[in-house]
Amino acid sequence: MIRNKPYKLIIFDWDGTLVDSAGAIVNSVAQTIKTLNLPELDYELIRMGVAHGGSEYLYPYLFNTDQPSLEQKKQYLKTFYQHYHQTPKTNIFPGVSQLLAGLKELDYTIAIATNKKRKFFDLEASQLDLQKFFSITRCAGECLEKPNPEMLSEIITETQHNCNNTLMVGDSCADIAAAYAAQVDVAVVTNGCNDIHKLTEQKPTITLPATYDLLNWLSSSKQTEIAK
């Protein structure tokens, strides 16, 4: 359901929403598999794994079980992050810098809720010169990860906003679920690598073809027409 109302707090997901990191992640997974001599997987399967949350989706293909040992997980993740750190960095989706600047100029409070670890988020945000736009950020390890709503709830509380004037913007089913669990509206963007049909089945407040379309939607007095 579309509700015409003034949002004041915009909470963005990171990967697949503001930055196009899928390529870097897929390449890092492929290099990890090669380094550890794990069963070779084709690009599309790895990409699908990234879209569904990454490592856990791929474990059955790599270890012949969905519950590999703790040592196997540690080795896999350590190797993945080594490769990821060496992989060319993520790129901003087209129009994202202008979007964030526009939101800032219009006095929106801008926040980040990401399941990425803090050190990697800070590195990427700094390299992409986006840190200046964010009033508050939450990363994996600081709160329960999405789809749990804890990140969103903490951001809303600390910024002294409320559920009714908050909009979550993401590209995944986890973002949608977290938003609805936190009782906030959610705009889902389809410029990430997730399945559009699965996203729309979750009935987000609004579906946008690209992240940069958000500002036009927020600025429009005919939001219900744009959403159709």
**pLDDT for res 149:** 98
Count of CB atoms situated within 10 Å of the CB of 23:
15
What is the gyration radius of the CA atoms in the chain, in angstroms? 18
Distances (CA, A) of 69 to 47, 61, 76, 79, 184: 24, 14, 11, 16, 38
Q: What is the DSSP string of 179-217?
A: HHHTT-EEEEESSSSS-HHHHHHT--SEEESSTTHHHHH
Q: What is the pTM of this model?
A: 0.77
**pLDDT for res 4:** 53
pLDDT by position in tens, the chain (length 228): 444 568 999 999 998 899 987 778 888 999 999 999 999 998 878 877 876 666 788 999 999 998 899 999 999 999 998 998 787 767 899 999 999 999 999 999 999 999 998 988 998 899 899 999 999 999 999 999 999 999 999 999 999 999 999 999 999 999 999 999 999 999 999 987 777 888 999 999 999 999 999 999 998 844 443 343
* DSSP one-letter code for 165: G
Enumerate the domain spans of the chain: 9-20+91-227, 22-86
Pick from 174, 52, 166, 163: which is nearest to 188 by CA? 174
Does the 9-20+91-227 domain belong in CATH 3.30.160.20?
A: no
Pair of tokens at residue 27: 């390449």
**pLDDT for res 99:** 97
**pLDDT for res 222:** 42
CB 92 within 8 A of CB 18: yes
